[in-house]
Structures are given as C-alpha cells and as structure tokens.
Chain A
C-alpha cells in the first residue's frame, strides 16, 4: 500500500491564483480530512469527509473547497489564493469518523503564496 499520498510537495502561488492540492489513499478509508499546520498554532481542520459524496466544514474552511467523488481521492481547492493561506497542508484518512485519532497522515504540501 502507498498509504496517503499528496501532490505537489511544494508550490508557490501568486495572490489570486487558484490551484488544487491532491490527496489519495489506497486503504479503502471512508474518513478523510485536510489540515493546515502553522507555526505556533498546531494543526487546524479545514474540511473533512465521512464518505464519497459527503463533505463538511472544519474549523477554518474559508477560502477552500473540497469534493469527494470517489473513496480514494479528496482534493482541496484554493479558488483565489491569499498570503494568509501560506502553510503546510496535510491530508489524512482513517477507516471511519470513530477512528480519526489513528488517522494516517500524508507527507504534506508546503504552499507559499506571494
């Protein structure tokens, strides 16, 4: 198993540009989530999904969209990037919402918005 994979590893954007961060898992996990990690703030939940076709907002959803058309993929879209979205983004997955504390985390995407 590849586990949780994320692409790209690093990206530089200009303010106003859009992009999609990709996340995929091959463990047939129903629960997937996106976090952002900022210095001195720990991880904060952006969006999550409890299964294909179902998504919901986390703590900091503004400026981000998600969709879950398949069990495997959970892309995160930035429609109009802002410098405040400079961060490290982690995707994670687990068998279900009840197992979220043992989520498998991807290696992260480091995003810089100029």
Chain B
C-alpha cells in the first residue's frame, strides 16, 4: 500500500532562515506526491505536486519541494521563512490502482517560525 511519513511533529525556525519539512514515501510504481498547508481553523490548501519531470518542484507562497528517488523523500523547502508561514503542513501520496484512486495523507508537521 502507498504511504507517506512525516518524521517530525514540529519544526521550529527563525524568520529569514531556510526551512525544511521532511516527508518520505513508500509506493509501488511511480509516485504522485503532494504538499498541503493548513492555517488555523481553515481547510487544507494545495501547495505543490510532483508527478514526473524535474525533481525540484515550485509551488505557492515561495515553497518548493525536492523529489529524491534514491532516498524516497519529498521534502518541502523555502529559502527564507516568514512568520506567516507558521501552519500545519501535510505531505500526501495518491494511491491509484484498479479499484481505488484516493489521497493518503501524512500525520502532519507543525511549522513554527519565530520573529
């Protein structure tokens, strides 16, 4: 079965510093990977996706993610963190086979950016 893991419950970073939120995946076949952000009392918002092609994917709000096949990772990155980036971040993989097509979400990582 497809799955993703987010090993860190929380990541703390100072404003202006680079940030990384980690995600590893386990899939059979080619992975379809995604990142979402959830601000307090809001639903999830799509940030970016990797389907195929360039390993560095750029998304909304200055975020990017690097797909690494050998390490089975899809870490979310941003060169310079903002306080407003503080939120809950979810990695997800799309589970597609003959009888299913759904998203499998990680457990989430809370990003706290300090001024």
Does A pair with B?
Answer: yes
A residues at B contact (CB < 8 Å): 4, 40-45, 48, 58-59, 90, 92, 97, 100-108
Closest beta carbon of chain B to A96's beta carbon, Å: 10
Say which residue of B9, B43, B46, B106 sits within 8 Å of A102 (CB atoms): B46
- Chain B, residue nearest A103 (CB): B46
Q: In the A-B complex, list the 4 residue pairs whose CB atoms are closest, starting with the nearest.
A: A105-B43, A42-B105, A43-B105, A42-B107
Main secondary structure of the interface of B (DSSP, over half): strand
Is the pair B102, A101 in contact by a Cβ cutoff of 8 Å? no
Residues of B near A106 (CB, < 8 A) are: 43
Q: How far is the CA of A98 from the CA of B32 in the complex (A)?
A: 12
Closest beta carbon of chain A to B101's beta carbon, Å: 6
Is the pair A101, B103 in contact by a Cβ cutoff of 8 Å? yes
Number of B residues contacting the other chain (C-beta, 8 Å)? 20
Is the pair A108, B43 in contact by a Cβ cutoff of 8 Å? yes
- Chain A, residue nearest B51 (CB): A101
Would A101 and B32 be within 8 Å (CB), given that A43-B105, A45-B102 are in contact? yes
Say which residue of B32, B42, B103, B107 sits within 8 Å of A41 (CB atoms): B107
Is the pair B43, A42 in contact by a Cβ cutoff of 8 Å? no
